[in-house]
Amino acid sequence: MTDELPKITRQTIGPQTDPIEPRGEAAMPIESQEAEGQAAERQEILALVTTILDETLGIELGDDVDLNTSIGPEGIGIESIGILEVTVHLEREYNIEFADETLEALLRGTLGEFIDEVVKQRTAVATGASTENSGSW
């Protein structure tokens, strides 16, 4: 049986100015915590979208797909009915809602823009704000 050693990061071995300051995530500046949280949230959403595409639409994202790849037929290959299926799954999973105008814009956008829109919708739900009919991008 092999015990795993904890991962050593800059936060756990870096210099500390206050001997009782907590280490790890709590010791990072708020901006860094927010950036890390957003990156983790984007990664979580990307993983879910990838799974939905594969299991629901039979679209497997290759190594050539990145956040700048178009979602539509000229990129990943999602048609309007496909984007509807993906968004319905996301709406159920995250208790969010996409406006019709947003769905149309999603088909013209990139994978990264799609992920950003899901983050925006989740943030709106968490803060109680409305994004209905935003169609901002």
Q: Please enumerate, as own/partner, the contacts of 89-94 that have beta carbons within 8 Å and a separation of 24 or more.
A: 89/48, 89/52, 89/56, 90/45, 90/48, 90/49, 90/52, 90/118, 93/48, 94/118, 94/121, 94/122, 94/125
Question: Does the structure show a pLDDT above 80 at 80?
Answer: yes
Predicted local confidence at residue 12, as pLDDT: 41
Mark out the alpha helices in 53-110 (DSSP H runs).
Answer: 80-94, 100-108
15: left (phi > 0), else alpha (psi -120 to 50), else beta? beta
Q: Is-contact 107 75, C-beta < 8 A? A: no
Per-chain mean pLDDT for the chain: 77
Q: Is-contact 69 75, C-beta < 8 A? A: yes
pLDDT in tens, 48-67: 999 999 999 999 988 889 99
- What is the band of 100 on the pLDDT scale with cuts at 50, 70, 90? confident
Of 99 and 135, the structure prediction assigns the larger pLDDT to 99
Question: Does the structure show a pLDDT above 90 at 28?
Answer: no
